């Protein structure tokens, strides 16, 4: 009995020490995004949201025109909004959303929800760093993208520095007004989605 008790104590101590070391290793790991978020403020989060958006629209081929819509801040998070000005026809919405969903999956985003509505479909996802991203097709085939950060340090937030690839608008943004031979076509896509 006397030999087993010190052995058990030693084993327990080793297990506790390993658990503590493993916990410390995880909290500083850059693989799960915590390390980068630890020092991130709202401006940094807004810039990350911009990168997520630019990468997403960059994956959409043929290209669509978009404009920056707004930035909002909560107590510790920031949200960026963009509006696609290219008309996405009802017949092409599934293809449009499919391109976005495939890109997000390839980027290790977790798809949270898919709304298969015929008139206003949407996809909600989360990046490995904990940013929520959404694409939604609304009235007259207008697509909207939104990225919301996790909780970060409070700071001032500037507008995006990258200029929209289409027209910019003062005041209210109109319904989509750019026609695309592909995205605005009112016929189903022959075969599959367009090649990137």
Mark whether 20 and 86 lie in a shared domain.
no
pLDDT at 14 exceeding the cut of 80: no
Mark whether 20 and 75 lie in a shared domain.
no
Is residue 51 one of the residues assigned to a domain? yes
Residues 154, 66 contacting (CB under 8 angstroms): no
Mark whether 45 and 124 lie in a shared domain.
yes
Over residues 126-172, the pLDDT tens digits come to 999 999 999 999 999 899 999 999 999 999 999 999 989 988 898 89
Is residue 101 one of the residues assigned to a domain? yes
Residue 46 burial (C-beta neighbours within 10 Å; 0-12, 13-18, 19+): buried
Is residue 193 one of the residues assigned to a domain? no
Residue 63 burial (C-beta neighbours within 10 Å; 0-12, 13-18, 19+): middle
Is residue 95 one of the residues assigned to a domain? yes
Residues 157, 42 contacting (CB under 8 angstroms): yes
Mark whether 141 and 51 lie in a shared domain.
yes
Is residue 165 one of the residues assigned to a domain? no
Residues 61, 195 contacting (CB under 8 angstroms): yes
Mark whether 45 and 25 lie in a shared domain.
no
Residue 9 burial (C-beta neighbours within 10 Å; 0-12, 13-18, 19+): exposed
HSE-CB at 151 with a 13 A cutoff on CA atoms is 2
Is residue 113 one of the residues assigned to a domain? yes
| pTM of the predicted structure, to 2 decimals | 0.78
Residue 184 burial (C-beta neighbours within 10 Å; 0-12, 13-18, 19+): middle
Residue 16 burial (C-beta neighbours within 10 Å; 0-12, 13-18, 19+): exposed
**8: containing domain:** 4-30
Mark whether 68 and 9 lie in a shared domain.
no
Mark whether 12 and 87 lie in a shared domain.
no
Neighbour count for residue 167 (Cβ, 10 Å): 12
Residues 71, 53 contacting (CB under 8 angstroms): no
Mark whether 26 and 57 lie in a shared domain.
no
Among residues 57, 87, 63, the alpha carbon closest in space to that of 160 is found at 57
- Average the pLDDT over each of 11-20, 44-53, 114-123, 165-174 and give the range with the smallest value: 11-20
Strand partners, 148: 79, 132
Mark whether 26 and 104 lie in a shared domain.
no
Mark whether 73 and 9 lie in a shared domain.
no
Q: How far is it, in rounded angstroms, from Cα 174 to Cα 47?
A: 26
Mark whether 134 and 59 lie in a shared domain.
yes
Number of domains in the chain: 2
DSSP 77-110: -EEEEEEE-B---TTTHHHHHHHHHHHHHHTTPE
C-alpha dist (Å) from residue 158 to 4, 43, 61: 64, 7, 29
Mark whether 73 and 126 lie in a shared domain.
yes
Is residue 172 one of the residues assigned to a domain? no
Is residue 94 one of the residues assigned to a domain? yes
Over residues 48-88, the pLDDT tens digits come to 999 999 999 999 999 999 999 999 999 999 999 999 999 99
């Amino acid at each position: 009995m006397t030999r087993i008790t010190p052995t058990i104590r030693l084993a327990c101590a080793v297990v506790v020490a390993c658990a503590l070391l493993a916990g410390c290793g995880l909290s500083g790991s850059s693989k799960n995004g915590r390390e980068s978020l630890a020092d991130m403020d709202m401006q940094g989060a807004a810039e990350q949201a911009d990168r997520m958006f630019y990468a997403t629209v960059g994956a959409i081929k043929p290209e669509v025109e978009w404009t920056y819509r707004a930035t909002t801040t909560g107590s510790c998070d920031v949200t960026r909004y963009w509006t696609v000005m290219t008309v996405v026809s009802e017949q092409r919405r599934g293809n449009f959303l499919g391109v976005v969903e495939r890109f997000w999956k390839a980027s290790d985003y977790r798809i949270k929800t898919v709304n298969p509505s015929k008139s206003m479909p949407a996809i909600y996802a989360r990046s490995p760093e904990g940013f929520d991203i959404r694409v939604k097709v609304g009235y007259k085939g207008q697509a909207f993208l939104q990225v919301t950060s996790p909780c970060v340090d409070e700071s001032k937030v500037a507008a995006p520095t990258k200029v929209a690839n289409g027209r910019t608008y003062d005041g209210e943004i109109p319904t989509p007004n750019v026609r695309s031979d592909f995205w605005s076509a009112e016929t189903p896509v022959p075969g599959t989605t367009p090649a990137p």
